[in-house]
Amino acid sequence: MGLKTPAEYVASLRDGRVTYWDGERIDDITTHPRFRVPIEVASRDYLYDDPSHAELRSFATDEGGRAHRIYQIPRSEADLATRVELMYHTSIVGLVSGVYMALMSVKDAVAKVNPQYAANIEAMYRHARDNDLRAAEVITDAKGDRKRKAHEQDDPDLYLRIVKRSNEGIVVRGAKLHITGASLCHELVVMPTKGMRQDETDYAVSFSIPVNTKGVKIINRSFAPAELNAFDYPASAHHSIPEGFVIFDDVFVPWERVFLAGEVQLASLFAQSLGLWERTGGLVEAVRMSQIFVGLAQLVSEHQGKERDPVVQNSVAELISYAEMLRMSLDYACRNYERTPSGMIHPNVLAVNVAKYYYAANYHQTIRYLHDVSGGLVITLPLEADLRNEESGKYLRKYLKSVPGAEPETRMRVYNLIRDLTADAYGGWQFVVALQAGGGLNAQRIMMHRTYDMATARARALAAAGATPH
Ligand SMILES: Cc1cc2nc3c(=O)[nH]c(=O)nc-3n(C[C@H](O)[C@H](O)[C@H](O)COP(=O)(O)OP(=O)(O)OC[C@H]3O[C@@H](n4cnc5c(N)ncnc54)[C@H](O)[C@@H]3O)c2cc1C
């Protein structure tokens, strides 16, 4: 019980979990080169002594213990602001553990249908919090033929489902795809991917189980190979976290770990709640990255002596506009928070969905401005090894000179970051992440329709038109 050290976290991953990567079954992820960077990244969240983040990283629980702040239930605007600040300094493995916020947000509604499920949510939240666990958000099903409902698929397992119920618990079968950091977490928190209808009861299922539970298998994939040079890949050499293709091969879940088992009326609530917290996390990252894009566009322009050119200034202004719209939207969403009946607060649902939509819908064309100012060296710049080689390096130093003060090596680092973030494997991953992670564009459009004050908009439009309300 209590806070783990990074070494204890690493040791806790040696638990017999079944993982695969690139065709290889990996029995101990803590010693495998593929997992070196991912485990380093996730371990940093356990550095509770780090003076720069000591206060931010943990909080005092009501019971007098200390826990990672990702488990702090926000009850005031200040709590929410601290949570957002924490998100800027936490790995994605720490961030996805915020899945318990999604569960705690729906707990009151769940209690009305089945108080035992609500008690299970509370107990699992405390278990994860007090043992300093990390938990994956396990939502997206394989889904097969998108035209057909879960139970209409040729293979009934294309959405995760209950295949057996007993006095002790349920047995589930299916697969959940794209699960961020699944192999680096302790718990898999499973929820339905969408609302379920009456004939889909076996698919309305939510629970939490340890990653090493019998029958769970994870196939990993990441944008980064095991080893990347940090000069040539300044972002992805440090940031790689694999997604997992997670299989549930007849997995037993005891009742005390079940949050939903057939109550279809609650399925969409779980999915929506998770969407809110996922999208908030995505926005925080978008705010951070969009500011870096502005800085990179400015630097690359200064290094080429064109920062006063009106066309370049227009491009930088476009990047500023994008970055500031995102920053202000996130700020607005947190200031105009909403409250659950038990007093937990969460960011404004409409604002988060509009902001996430804006981020995703404009990401690709905004990056275009950065590429436009940067030029071709973004993708043709030679590698660090060529700079360090005496013979080739002298030419790089000579021909990468531009304006006074712009060191060739600094220029190379700037180009490398632009390429890594926007034009290479990690950059390609980011292009898809912007659109799909946290749900595709349509998931946000649906939430806009559900939460926008349409009655007022209609009434004002009618009044402005001089028409009679109907
Ligand atoms: C890097 C990354 C990390 C992720 N991490 C997680 C995670 O940790 N946990 C998790 O649960 N999920 C995660 N996701 C999954 C993400 O939420 C999904 O990718 C997203 O919801 C889209 O679902 P899909 O990939 O199954 O694509 P699809 O369902 O095929 O959707 C693709 C497009 O098709 C459209 N579409 C879908 N169904 C229909 C239909 N019936 N008719 C018409 N159009 C349709 C959608 O609107 C969308 O635009 C992650 C995704 C990525 C890329």
The pLDDT tens digits of the residues spanning 137-170 come to 999 999 999 999 999 999 999 999 999 999 999 9
User: pTM of the entire structure?
Assistant: 0.95
DSSP secondary structure string, 441-465?
A: HHHHHHHHHHHS-HHHHHHHHHHHT
Mean pLDDT confidence for 38-57: 91
Contacts of 298 (CB under 8 A, 6+ apart): 307, 316
Distance 436 CA to ligand 1 centre (A): 5
Segment 82-107, tens digit of pLDDT: 999 999 999 999 999 999 999 999 99
Name the band, by pLDDT with cuts 50, 70 and 90, for residue 52. confident
Do the beta carbons of residue 173 and residue 217 sit within 8 Å?
Answer: no
pLDDT for 451 equals 96
**Residue 56 burial by Cβ neighbours in a 10 Å radius (0-12, 13-18, 19+):** middle
Classify 252 as helix, strand or coil.
Answer: strand
Mean pLDDT confidence for 413-432: 97
**Percent of the chain as helix, strand, coil, to the nearest 5:** 55, 15, 30
pLDDT for 84 equals 94
CA 125 to chain centre: 19
Name the residue type at position 354.
V
Ligand 1 atom with minimal separation from the 146 CA: 41
Residue nearest to atom 52 of ligand 1 (CA): 437
Instruction: Kindly state the tokens that stand for 179.
Output: 């699960």
* Residue 219 CB-half CA count within 13 A: 9
Distance 83 CA to ligand 1 centre (A): 26
Residue nearest to atom 25 of ligand 1 (CA): 436
Segment 388-405, tens digit of pLDDT: 999 999 999 999 999 999
Q: 440 CB less than 6 Å from ligand 1?
A: yes
E strands, 257-387, are 258-261, 338-339, 345-346
Residue nearest to atom 45 of ligand 1 (CA): 146
Q: 178 CB less than 6 Å from ligand 1?
A: yes
pLDDT for 141 equals 97
Q: Would you say how long the chain is, in residues?
A: 470
Out of 96, 436, 442, mutate this one to test ligand 1's pocket (max ligand atoms within 8 Å of CB): namely 436
Q: Which residue reads 């080893």 in tokens?
A: 227
Q: 436 CB less than 6 Å from ligand 1?
A: yes
Residue nearest to atom 41 of ligand 1 (CA): 146
Distance CA 148, CA 142 (A): 13
Out of 91, 143, 146, mutate this one to test ligand 1's pocket (max ligand atoms within 8 Å of CB): namely 146
Residue 469 scores a pLDDT above 80: no
Write down the architecture of domain 269-458 according to CATH. Answer: Up-down Bundle (1.20)
Distance 441 CA to ligand 1 centre (A): 10
Name the band, by pLDDT with cuts 50, 70 and 90, for residue 219. very high
pLDDT for 290 equals 98
Q: 185 CB less than 6 Å from ligand 1?
A: no
Ligand 1 atom with minimal separation from the 274 CA: 11
Instruction: Kindly state the tokens that stand for 15.
Output: 């638990």
Ligand 1 atom with minimal separation from the 429 CA: 1
pLDDT for 234 equals 96
Mean pLDDT confidence for 17-30: 97
Out of 96, 99, 140, mutate this one to test ligand 1's pocket (max ligand atoms within 8 Å of CB): namely 140
Q: 278 CB less than 6 Å from ligand 1?
A: no
Mean pLDDT confidence for 356-361: 98
Rg of the Cα atoms in the chain = 24
332 membership: H or E segment, kind and range? helix 310-335
Q: 140 CB less than 6 Å from ligand 1?
A: yes
Distance 440 CA to ligand 1 centre (A): 6
Name the band, by pLDDT with cuts 50, 70 and 90, for residue 341. confident
Q: Assign domain 6-262 one CATH number from 3.40.50.620, 2.40.110.10, 3.20.20.140, 3.40.50.720.
A: 2.40.110.10
Segment 277-286, tens digit of pLDDT: 999 999 999 9
Distance 6 CA to ligand 1 centre (A): 33
What does the DSSP 8-state code read for residue 231?
Answer: T
Instruction: Kindly state the tokens that stand for 19.
Output: 């993982």
pLDDT for 227 equals 86
Distance 285 CA to ligand 1 centre (A): 19
> 6-262 and 269-458: same fold?
no
Ligand 1 atom with minimal separation from the 180 CA: 8
Do the beta carbons of residue 174 and residue 141 sit within 8 Å?
Answer: yes
Distance 97 CA to ligand 1 centre (A): 20
Domain boundaries, the chain: 6-262, 269-458
Distance CA 369, CA 315 (A): 5
Segment 257-277, tens digit of pLDDT: 999 999 999 999 998 889 999
Classify 222 as helix, strand or coil.
Answer: coil
Distance 9 CA to ligand 1 centre (A): 31
Distance 366 CA to ligand 1 centre (A): 22
